[in-house]
Structure 1
Amino acid sequence: MSEAKMYVNPIAEKYSKDINGRVIVVDKSGIVKGDSNKEFLGETFRHKEIQNALNGQTSTNTFKFKEYGHVLYVAVPAIVQNRVVGATLLSISINDIYKDVNHIKLNLFFISIVCILLIALISFIFSGFAIMPLERFTKVINSMAKGDFKQRVEVNTNDEFKNMAYAFNAMIMKLDQVDKQRKEFVANVSHELRTPISSIKLLSESLLHQDEDDINIYKEFMMDIAAESDRLNNIIDELLSLVDLDKEKLHLNYKITYINFLLEKIVNRLKPLAEKKDIKLKLYLNEKIQIKVDSDKIQQAIINIIENAIKYTQEGGEVKVSLYSQGKWCIIEVRDNGIGIPENGLTHIFDRFYRIDKARSRKTGGTGLGLSIANQIVALHQGNIEVESKIGKGSVFYIKIPNDIKL
């Protein structure tokens, strides 16, 4: 027990903070040598996942608890010289993922219900002379309720029903696009979450297999684990940001903000990211501007835009950030000489989960939420974001915020 307190348990506690979860370490007899919550130290732990790990099998499972909600369990064996000497159990809350997925499902369900009620009402009013067109609508809506968004309403009349059919078909196409984006988003998030978790598992196993006592090696491994944990947290933070921005009565903490200083802080923060790709990140402060904004949220929007410019600019490229005013607008211009955006993608870049080049986006990281979050934040400040781009020459984002926001 004293050895666990001196060595194993402190590592378990630190690791649990990094992943925002719980870590339990047992020896080959199932006796707990490390518990980040200090609840089971010294006790024999007979959890199913631990027993599988002690038998040499990596085990994962999800549970739903009344008190904690959905929890992911990952148990891995600790193997030294082909012998299982213990096991580690990680438990991480995945409530946020379930909430977001359920929220998307609920929205689609409500849309289907509203459509069904709308068609039912029209059928009641015009049942005498419009039964056939309405039956076609009802048939398609029933297919939509079952998840089929490929059906279309065909109306050959030249009255309002034909116009309604065109509008309805356009709505179905939009819903089909949203459904595809939802499925793609769930797949992307699953991939993004699985990647850091797998890396953490691999790094922790490698750490357990280290025979050397060099503290620098342990520090290097722990820094890698912390980086993967940060990556996991970034994904969750973006999802939480979307949830916050969707609140009808979101409170913005307006205060006079010196935009010049804010941009200097942001650029200094992002320079290491640019330097990794040998990109020149330059700041041009053409005027001194102070306006009322929620500094934390507007900073998040600007960071998302600049990070996006850095991600899609080739090594050795250049990203310029400029500040100036134009009429009633404070304008923050972000200009890069990167890969550019196709013309047909300009109308969709602020859509949630939209990715112009899925292969490149996966390589550069992210979930396709950054620009959507930035656009919503600027819109909440009664502003807008305009984009100009040419393939192979780069893009320019104009973040426009009014100088006199009406509170």
Structure 2
Amino acid sequence: MTQTSSENNQPIRKHRRLSIKWKWALGTALGVFILFLAFSGLLYRGFSGVLYNQERNHVSSTLDTVLSRVDNLQGHFNKATVSSALQPSLTQPSGSVSAESKLYQNSLITDLSRDSTTVVVYDANRKQVFSSRDTQITAPEFSSKRTITAKSQGAFDGLVGFSPIYSVDRHKLLGYVQVTNAMGEYKNARSKLIAILTVLIISAVFVAALFGYILSAYLLRPVVALNDTIRAVQSDPQSEERVPVTKRDDELADLGNLFNDMLDQMQRYIDQQQQFVEDVSHELRTPVAVIQGHIEMLQRWGKDDPTVLNESLSAAMQETKRMQSLVAEMLDLTRAEQIEITLNNETTDVKEVVNQVFNDFKMIHPDFTFILDDDVSKPAYAQIYRNHLEQVLIILLDNAVKYSVKRKEIHMSLAEGASTVEIAVQDFGEGLSEENVKRVFNRFYRVDKARSRNKGGNGLGLSIAQRLIEAYHGKISIESALGYGSVFQIVLPLLSEQERQQLDSAKAATAKPKTPAMLPTNLGANQKADDADSTPSAPGVYRAGSPTEHDHES
């Protein structure tokens, strides 16, 4: 089926392409053809050379045999004597064993028995006196030297050996001998060799093409699966279609796994975007409705009543501040979920940060009792950006302060394991049930929504903390008992001294790092809510004074 162009209404022909399997098969066949052609050429040349030398040696040996038979004829060098010397003469009766033995042992008979060999003898006057069979050379080239040359004359194409015949004492020229070899056996062997090599090349090319096609079809199965998956995702971005996982440990398997990871990451981003829109629309519905209600009341009659006017404006301002806080925390959570750790070379002394945040909260909340159990005697370095670690600790301590109503006591601990550093924050507040513990890190999750709203929480703090810690390959967990409080534990991989030095060296060799996704710039937890909420947060900045959540709201 052809398509037409909208501009000139000319039919557009579909470009016929050649699949990789056929390209692979034809490429393999071409490679094998070239290889076998070169090999066959070398083999043919070598084998032909050996056969040619054999034929040349046969001509030379025949010349030697004829010369040995006729060089002692002296003055009797004529047709009768030459024929007698060169033709078999058996005195034994025909069929006797000795006669047959003598016949087969006669080298001259063996040479002359070849159909392609002809012996012609001339006398000193260049007159033919003997011929083993009709010769195809009509004009021999008489020479005083022995020669063996390749010659092509008429139907003859072969070797011609020529030699003068002298008497035994080398004083008298008796005649000439010519040996022609049409090389019939050589040509037949060469033809058979060409046929064999041709069949071999054709067979090898066919087998190579078939094997290449089958092998490419097998090796490219992950690519076919990848193509099918791409088409499925292209038609439906929400599709759960994935490249099948194979046991083959090769580059295509790595490509499939990488593509699956990319699809999973893309799906997470899509889910996060949808979740963000749903959460924001759900959470903003109430404050928007409250503001709208107060404005409508003011429009009807409240603007003439100073009390109602002041109450409505205060409520609207409070809801506006809560929306501002919600939007800021939602942006923080989104950045935490999609964070790309570009500060891979950043190292932080966990002991120093824990002590700093601990002392800050002691100063900010003098009505609370803070206890730090520090079992680390030397600096403990982890691969995490300092401000991100501060932000997580602020979230946990803010939550602990917020929900420690009856017993205002908070414990912190710092311990070092074999390859990890562990931080714990314990409060003695309301605690959580086992069911709520499983959901405490979910965004917008609150055990008591009304009470959480009164405390200013949006249910995002613990979600932000979890995303940050996991981004640096750490773990955050909670243990809680309803009515007895909760313990949050952070585990981060501990860097050895050698690893820290390597990271510091890499950091020094790297250009100026990008600004991190979130930076806790202050600990204004005790500042007035009006000041904290009226000042817009910088992009990616988490304010400790803004509402955070404990085990009751994540």
TM-score range normalised by the length of the shorter chain:
0.3 to 0.5
Q: Which has the higher strand share?
A: 1
Say which one has the larger Rg: 2
Structure of greater relative contact order (alpha carbons < 8 Å, 6+ residues apart) = 2
